[in-house]
Structure 1
Amino acid sequence: MHIAILEDETTLAEEVKLYLERDGHSATIFVDGEALLRALPRETFDLFILDWNVPKINGYEVLVRMRKNLRMIEPIVFLTSTDAEDEIVAALSAGADDYCIKPIRLREFSARISSAQRRVQMTNAPAFGREKEILGYRFNPITNLVRFDDQDVTLTEKEFALASFLFSELDRPLSRNRLLIEVWGSTGPELSRTLDVHIAWIRKKLHIGASGSRARLVAVYGYGYRLMQTFPEE
C-alpha cells in the first residue's frame, strides 16, 4: 500500500515511515494538514495515518474534509495521546476507521495497519457463510458453535452473530448503533442494555475479557466496543 503520514514530530514520522517500509509499504510524510490536502488531487494513497495536533489544518479537520467534502472512502487511522478520549470518540464519529495511542507500540501499530488492509481487501467479500477461523477461534454458523483451545462452546443465535461480527472486524472500533443494526436490525434504549448483556456473556464464554490471552473485548468510552488482538509486552 501507499500510505500518507500526517505527523509533524519528525522523529516519530520517520520511525513510522521506516517501519511501514519494512512491512513492504511505501509512505509519504506531511508535516501539516494543508500540505496533505493539496497533495490529494495529484497523488493516490491507499491508507492515511493522521495525527490530531499538526500545524495549519489539524488532523481532525483533514478527516472531516476527506469524508464529507471529498467523499473519500480509504481507511484512516488516527494517532492520539493516551488521555484523549474525546479526540478518539470525535475521530471515530467523523469517519476514522481505527486509532493508535501514543507512544506507539510498533508491533501493535503494524497489526492495526494490516487489519485495515484486510478490511479493504474484504470489502466485497461475503460475511460469515461457512466455517471460518480467526485467532484460533473456529466459528460454525450451522450449529452456532465456537471451537478454541480444545473446547466447544455453543452460543445463542444472537451471541454467535455478535461474536462473529466482532471477530470479522478484529481491531476495529465499532459503534453501539452499528453493532445493534448488524445483530438486531434496529436501535433504541431497550436494545442498548441487551447489547451490554450479550457482550458480558461472550466475554465470559469465549475468554475474551480483561485476561484474554488472544483477544480482549474492550469498551471504547462514549462510542462502543472493540475486539483487540493481544500482544506480549514489547
Structure 2
Amino acid sequence: MATNKEQPLSILVVDDEPDIREILQFNLENEGYQVDSADSAEAAATILSGKHRLILLDVMMGGISGFKFADQLRKAGNNIPIIFLTAKDTENDMLTGFSIGGDDYISKPFSIKEVIARVKNILKRMAVPVDKPAKKIIEIGELKIDLESKTVLLDSQPIELTKTEFNILELLVQNEGKLYSRSDILDKAWKNDGIVLERTVDVHITRLRRKLGHFGDYIINRTGYGYTFSPQ
C-alpha cells in the first residue's frame, strides 16, 4: 500500500487499450495509489501535472507514440519516472526506451503483480536519495556538480540529467579512482532493484558520457572489472 495515507501517490496510466487502462487503474488503486488515465499521448499531455509521480506509458499508440512522448518530456526537462508498456520485446526496442530516458520496460502481456512490484521499486528509489553530505559542490574544471540541488553545469550551462544518471555520476565522482562493477552500480544507483538488467548500466553510462561532452571521457570502462571515474 502507498505509505502516505493523507495524500496517495499519483500515477498516470497512458494506453489506447481500454481494458488495460481499467485493469491497471483498478489494481493500482487497490494498492493505495491515486490513478489518472489517458487513451493517448496527446490526452496525457493535457492532464500531466506536478502531482504525478510516475507514468505507465504504452509505446505503440496512434498519433504520438509512447517513445516520442517520453522524448518530448525529457527534452522539456521533465524527469518524471516512466515505465514503458509494449508488445514489442526486442533488445533494440528496450534499449531505445532506456536511451530516451525511460526507467523501466515491461512487455505485454504482463503480470499485474510484476507491474505493481516495479512501480513500487521505482517510487521507493525516487523517495530515497543516494546518501551524500549536504551543501556540497564538486568542481572539475568547467564541470560543476551540485549535490544538494542535483544540478550539473558544463561551461556554466545546465545539463539535464535523469535521476539515475545523476546518481551514477555522483557515485563515480565522489569515489574517484574506485572501480564499480555493473552490479555495484545497480545496487547504489538503483537501490538494489533486482528487476533491472545489468546491461542497463551501460546504456545509462553511454547516455551520461554523451551529455558530459569531453568530461565523459573521465568515466572509464575497465574491461572485466567495471567503471571508474578518473580525470586525465
**Alignment partners' CA distance in 2, 1:172 and 1:163:** 10
- The answer (yes or no) to whether the contact 1:177–1:187 under 8 Å persists in 2 is no
Among 84, 105, 113, which residue is 1:107 paired with?
113
SS of the residue 1:123 aligns to: coil
Q: TM-score, normalised by structure 2?
A: 0.60
Aligned residue type for 2:108 = K
Q: Residues 91-170 of structure 1: matches in 2 within 5 Å?
A: 91-123=97-129, 125-126=131-132, 158=179, 162-168=182-188, 169=190, 170=193
Runs of 4+ in 1 over 6 A off after TM superposition: none
Cα separation, 2, equivalents of 1:115 and 1:105: 16
Alignment of 1:59-74 (within 5 A): 59-69=66-76, 71-74=77-80
Q: C-alpha displacement at 1:162, in angstroms?
A: 4.4
Cα distance per residue 1:183-229 (max 9 Å; x no partner): xx9446xx36x1xx348xxxxxxxxxxxxxxxxxxxxxxxxxxxxxx
In the alignment, what sits opposite 2:35? 27
Shift of 1:164: 3.3
- SS of the residue 2:89 aligns to: coil
1:179: how far off?
5.7
Q: Among 83, 98, 104, which residue is 2:89 paired with?
A: 83
SS in 2 for 1:175: helix
Identity score, percent: 23
Paired with 1:40 and 1:46, the residues of 2 have a C-alpha distance of: 10
Q: TM-score, structure 1 length as denominator?
A: 0.60
- Partner-residue secondary structure (3-state), 2:121: helix
Q: How many residues align?
A: 161
1:112-154 CA distances to partner (integer Å, 9 max, x unpaired)? 1011101110135449xxxxxxxxxxxxxxxxxxxxxxxxxxx
Q: Is this contact kept in 1: 2:82–2:104, CA < 8 A?
A: yes
Which of 28, 39, 48 is the aligned partner of 1:40? 48
Measured on the aligned residues, the alpha-carbon RMSD in Å equals: 2.9
| Residue 202 (structure 2) pairs with residue 176 (structure 1) | yes
Q: Which runs of 5+ in 2 are unaligned?
A: 1-8, 134-177, 209-216, 227-232
Q: Work out the CA distance in 2 between the residues paired with 1:31 and 1:82.
A: 19
Relative to 1, partners in 2 of residues 1:92 and 1:163: Cα closer, same or farther, differing over 3 Å?
A: closer
Residue among 64, 68, 79 paired with 1:57: 64
Structure 2 partner of 1:143: none
